[in-house]
Structure 1
Amino acid sequence: MAVALYQIAVDAHDVRGLARFWCEVLNWKVLFDDPEEVVIGADEDAWPGIVFLPVPERKTVKNRLHLDLSPDDQAAEVERLLALGARRADVGQGEDATWVVLADPEGNEFCVLRPKQTLID
């Protein structure tokens, strides 16, 4: 039996607002919008996507799962994300961390990594 990762589910207080934020972050689009879920993705045929599901409560503790973003320019990307509504977050990463921890508008932590180096044979 084959299996593939289809989408990542995120509980949200404001599903449409959080979906719009992540569409801007990832340059994705809304693929499905319904009161019970909003699905975003690169396009209709690209997997995985992210589905935002409504919940009445707000986030209260550190995420057990988070996204890592790999930009071309870490500092510029952090500034762009802060302008979109992200905020800096401290999850105990320490001052010598090579990644930057941010939180989306609902407090879900994610990391902005240093640019990945290409390996040359």
Structure 2
Amino acid sequence: MSLRLYQIAVDARDPAALARFWAEVLDWRILLEDPDEVVVGADESAWPGMVFLAVPEEKAGKNRLHLDLAPEDRPAEVARLLALGAVLVDVGQPADAPWTVLADPEGNEFCILGPKHSLTV
């Protein structure tokens, strides 16, 4: 039996707003939207996607799972994401860490990696 990662589920107080943030971050599109669920992805046939699900409670504590994003230009991407509404976060990383920790508008941490993590295809 083989498995593929289909989508990453994210609880959200405001699924539409958070989905739009992540669609902009990843240059993806809104693929499905209703009041309790919003799906974003590169396109309808690309996996994985992300689904944002309505929950009543705020995020509490540090994420147990987070995304690592590999940009071509970390400083430029950090600046772009801050302008979109991300915030810098201190989770105890060293001051000279080769990554930057950010949080999305609902407080979910994610990392922007440095050049050594760049992927070559």
Equivalence for 2:21:
21
The equivalent residue for 1:9 is: 9
The within-5 A match list for 1:1-121 is 1-115=1-115, 116=118, 118=120
Runs of 4+ in 1 over 3 A off after TM superposition: none
Amino acid at match of 1:15: P
Gap runs ≥5 in structure 2: none
Give the 3 Å change call, closer, same or farther, for CA 117–43 of structure 1 in structure 2.
Answer: closer
TM-score, structure 1 as length reference: 0.94
- The 1-side partners of 2:94 and 2:72 are apart by 23
Deviation string 1:71-112 (CA, Å, 9 cap, x unpaired) is 110000000000000000011111021000000000000000
Between the aligned partners of 1:37 and 1:117, the Cα distance in structure 2 is 31
Distance 1:59 1:66 in 2: 13
RMSD: 1.3
Unaligned runs of 5+ in 1: none
Matched residue pairs, number?
119
Q: Measure the CA separation in 2 of the matches of 1:117 and 1:28.
A: 19
Taking only the aligned residue pairs, the percentage that are identical comes to 69
Shift of 1:114: 1.1
Which TM-score applies when normalising by structure 2? Answer: 0.94
> Secondary structure of 1:20's partner?
helix
